[in-house]
Structure 1
Amino acid sequence: MTDAQALPAPPVAAKRPLSRTHHGDTFDDPYEWLRAKDEAEVIGHLEAENAYTDERTAHLAALREQIFQEIKGRTLETDLSVPSRRGSWWYYGRTVEGSQYGIQCRAPLASPDDWTPPELAPGEPVPGEQVLLDGNIEAEGLDFFSLGSFEISNDGDRMLYGVDLAGDERYTVRVRDLTTGENLADEIPGTFAGASFSPDGRFIVYTTVDDAWRPDTVWLHEIGTPVEDDVKLFTEPDERFWVGADFTRSDRYLIIDVGSSVTSEEWIVDAADLRSEPRVVWPRSEGVEYSASDAVVDGEDVLYILHNDGALDFELVRVAASAPQGERSVVIPHRPGQRLLGVDTFRDWGIVGYRRGGLPRLGMLDYADGAVREIEFDEPLYSVGAGGNPEWAPPLLRVGFGSFVTPGTVFDYEVATGELLLRKRQPVLGGYDADDYAQARVWATAQDGTEVPISLVWKRSFGDAGATPRALHLYGYGSYEHSIEPGFSVARLSALDRGVIFAVAHVRGGGEMGRQWYEDGKTLAKRNTFTDFVDCAQHLIDAGYTTADRMVAEGGSAGGLLMGAVANLAPELFAGILADVPFVDALTSILDPSLPLTVIEWDEWGDPLHDPEVYAYMKTYSPYENVRADVQYPRILAVTSLNDTRVLYVEPAKWVARLREVGADALLKCEMVAGHGGVTGRYNSWRERAFELAWLLDVLGVADAA
Structure 2
Amino acid sequence: MKNTSGIVTPPVANKKPKKLTIHNDTRIDNYHWLNRREDTEVLDYLNAENAYTKAMMKHTEGLQKSLFEEMKARIKENDTSVPYKLNGYWYITRFEIGKDYPVYARKKESLEVEEEIMFDCNVMAKQHSYFKLGGIAISPDNTMAAFSTDIVSRRQYTIRIKNLKTGEVYKDEIKNTTGSITWANDNKTLFYTKKDEVTLRSYKIFKHVLGTYITEDVEVYHEADETFNTYIYKTKSKKYLVIGSSSTLSTEYRILDADTPDGKFEVFQERIRDLEYSIAHFKGNFYIVTNADASTNFKVCKTPEDKTSKDNWIDIIPHRNNVLIEDIEIFKDYLVVNERENGLNNIRIIHWNGKEDYYLPFDNETYNAYIGNNPDFESETLRYGYNSLTTPSSIIDYNFKTKTKDIKKEQEVLGCKFKKENYESQRIWPTARDGVKIPMSIVYKKGLKLDGSNPVLQYAYGSYGSTIDPTFSSIRLSLLDRGFIYAISHVRGGEYLGRDWYENGKLLLKKNTFTDFIDCSKHLIAKGYTSEKHLYAYGGSAGGLLIGAIINMNPELYKGVLAAVPFVDVVTTMLDDSIPLTTGEYDEWGNPNNIEFYNYMKSYSPYDNVVSQNYPNILVTTGLHDSQVQYWEPAKWVAKLRDLKTDDNKLLLHIDMDSGHGGASGRFESLKEVALEYAFLLDLEEIRH
TM-score, length basis structure 1: 0.94
Q: CA deviation at 1:73?
A: 1.4
Q: What is the distance in 2 between the residues matched to 1:485 and 1:518?
A: 15
1:635 to 600, 617, 640: 617
Q: Which residue of 2 aligns with 1:32?
A: 32
Aligned partner letter, 1:623: P
Q: Which residue of 2 aligns with 1:115?
A: none
1:371-420 deviation digits (Å, cap 9, x = unpaired): 64222222221111112222232111111111111111100111222222
The structural deviation recorded for 1:68 is: 0.7
Moved more, 371-380 or 338-347: 371-380
Candidates 628, 632, 635, aligned match of 1:646? 628
Q: Which among 225, 228, 247 is matched to residue 212 of structure 2?
A: 225
Unaligned runs of 5+ in 1: 111-117, 119-125
Q: Distance in 2 between matches of 1:387 and 1:203?
A: 28
**Preserved CA contact (<8 Å) 2:159 2:177:** yes
Matched, 1:195 2:181: yes
C-alpha displacement of 1:158: 1.5
SS in 2 for 1:185: coil
Deviations 1:606-632 (A, max 9, x none): 0002x1010000011000000120x21
Q: Structure 2 counterpart of 1:70, which letter?
A: E
Match of 2:97 in 1: 97
Question: Aligned Cα RMSD in Å?
Answer: 1.4
Partner of 1:545: 529
Structure-1 residue corresponding to 2:373? 388
How far residue 593 of structure 1 moved from its aligned partner, in angstroms, is 1.2
SS at match of 2:347: strand
1:179 Cα offset (Å): 1.4
Residues 246-271 of structure 1, C-alpha deviations (whole Å, 9 max, x = no match): 00011000111111001111111111
Q: Is the 8 A contact 1:10 1:52 kept in 2?
A: yes
Secondary structure in structure 2 of the residue aligned to 1:673 = coil
Aligned mates of 1:639, 1:571 — CA distance in 2 = 19
Q: 1:137 deviation in Å?
A: 0.2
What are the Cα deviations for residues 292-343 of structure 1, in whole angstroms up to 9, with x where unaligned?
A: 11111xxxx1111111121011111111110012432211111012111122
SS in 1 for 2:369: strand
Residues 124-147 of structure 1: per-residue CA shift (max 9 Å, x gap): xx7411111111000012100011
**1:48 matched residue in structure 2:** 48
Give the distance between the partners of 1:695 and 1:543, measured in 2 at CA.
26
Q: Find the counterpart in structure 2 of residue 176 from structure 1.
A: 162
Distance in 2 between residues matched to 1:104 and 1:377, nearest whole Å = 33
Residue in 1 that maps onto 2:88: 88
Cα deviation for residue 695 of structure 1 reads: 1.0
1:337 is matched with 322
Equivalent pairs counted in the alignment come to 678
What is the identity, as a one-letter code, of the residue corresponding to 1:331? I
The answer as to whether partners of 1:561 and 1:582 remain within 8 angstroms in 2 is: yes
% identical equivalent positions: 39
Cross-structure match for 1:373 = 358
Alignment of 1:427-506 (within 5 A): 427-430=412-415, 431-460=417-446, 463-464=447-448, 466=450, 469-506=453-490
Report if the CA contact (8 A) 1:250-1:346 is conserved.
no
Query: CA 1:513/1:526 → structure 2, altered by over 3 Å: closer, same or farther?
Result: same
Secondary structure of the residue aligned to 1:452 is: coil
The reply to whether residue 533 of structure 1 matches residue 517 of structure 2 is: yes
Please give the per-residue CA displacement for 1:275-300, whole angstroms capped at 9, x wherever unaligned: 2111111111101101111111xxxx
Q: Which residue of 1 aligns with 2:601?
A: 618
Task: Give the 3-state SS of the residue equivalent to 1:682 in structure 2.
Answer: coil
**Using the alignment, how far apart are the partners of 2:356 and 2:297 within structure 1?**
18
1:372–1:642 CA distance, 2 compared to 1 (3 A): farther
CA contact under 8 A between 1:628 and 1:662: conserved in structure 2? Answer: yes
Matched AA of 2:43 = I
Alignment partner, residue 123 of structure 1: none
- Contact 2:451–2:530 (Cα < 8 Å) also in 1: no
CA distance in 1, matches of 2:388, 2:139: 35
Amino acid at match of 2:596: E
Q: Which residue of 2 aligns with 1:362?
A: 347
Provide the residue aligned with 1:507 in structure 2.
Answer: 491
Asked whether 1:424 is paired with 2:430, we answer no
Answer yes or no: is the 8 Å Cα contact 2:147–2:179 preserved in 1.
no
Partner of 1:122: none
Deviations 1:441-474 (A, max 9, x none): 00110010010001000111xx136365301110
Once residues 343 and 266 of structure 2 are traced to their aligned partners in structure 1, the CA distance between those partners, rounded to angstroms, is 37
How many angstroms does 1:346 deviate by? Answer: 3.0
Q: Which residue of 2 aligns with 1:137?
A: 123
Matched AA of 2:601? M
Q: Which runs of 5+ in 2 are unaligned?
A: none
Alignment-mate amino acid for residue 614 of structure 2: Q
Corresponding residue for 2:20?
20
Offset of residue 568 of structure 1: 0.4
Give distance in 2, aligned partners of 1:343 and 1:465. 43
User: Is 2:241 aligned against 1:283?
Assistant: no
1:579 is aligned to 2:560: no
The answer (yes or no) to whether the contact 2:452–2:531 under 8 Å persists in 1 is: no
Tell me if structure 2 keeps the 8 A contact 1:186–1:224. Answer: no
Q: What is the alpha-carbon distance in structure 2 between the residues aligned to residue 200 and residue 247 of structure 1?
A: 13
TM-score scaled by length of structure 2: 0.96
Give the C-alpha shift of residue 149 in structure 1: 1.2
Given that 1:293 and 1:303 are in contact with CA atoms closer than 8 Å, whether structure 2 keeps it comes out as yes
CA distance 1:68–1:212, shift in 2 (3 Å)? same
Counterpart check, 1:267 vs 2:250: no
Between 1:218-227 and 1:190-199, the stretch displaced more is 190-199
Asked whether 1:561 is paired with 2:552, we answer: no
| Cα distance in 2, alignment partners of residues 203 and 272 from structure 1 | 10
C-alpha contact (below 8 Å) 2:480/2:486 kept by paired residues: yes
2:52 & 2:424 partners in 1: Cα distance? 39
Aligned partner of residue 430 in structure 2, secondary structure: strand
Q: Which amino acid aligns with 1:202?
A: K
> Could you tell me which residue of structure 1 aligns to residue 664 of structure 2?
679
Question: What SS does the corresponding residue of 1:272 show, helix, strand or coil?
Answer: coil
Out of 179-188 and 333-342, give the one that drifted further. 179-188
Q: What is the aligned partner in structure 2 of residue 113 from structure 1? A: none
Find the aligned partners of 1:312 and 1:19 in 2 and give their Cα distance.
42
| Contact 1:34–1:654, Cα closer than 8 Å, also in 2 | yes
Q: Which moved more, 1:340-349 or 1:163-172?
A: 340-349
CA distance in 1: counterparts of 2:358 and 2:241, whole angstroms: 29
Supply the AA of the counterpart residue of 1:551: L
Provide the secondary structure at the position in 1 that maps to 2:172.
strand
Contact 1:505 1:533 in 2 (8 A): yes
Residues 550 and 701 in structure 1, CA contact (< 8 A), matched pair in contact too: no
Distance in 1 separating the partners of 2:352 and 2:611: 59
Structure 2 vs 1, CA of residues 342 and 408 (structure 1 numbering), >3 Å: closer, same or farther?
A: same
Moved over 3 A (4+): 368-372, 465-469
Q: Secondary structure at the match of 2:660?
A: coil
> How far 1:433 moved relative to its partner?
0.7
Distance across 1 between alignment mates of 2:582 and 2:52: 32
Cα separation, 1, equivalents of 2:172 and 2:520: 54
Question: CA offsets, 1:498-547, max 9 Å, x none?
Answer: 01000001000011000000000000000000000000000000010001
Residues in 1 aligned to 2:512 and 2:525: alpha-carbon distance in whole angstroms: 20
Check the 8 A contact 2:158/2:179 in 1, yes or no.
no
The answer to whether the 8 A contact 1:470-1:550 is kept is: yes
Match for 1:307 among 290, 296, 302?
Answer: 290
Q: Which amino acid aligns with 2:321?
A: P
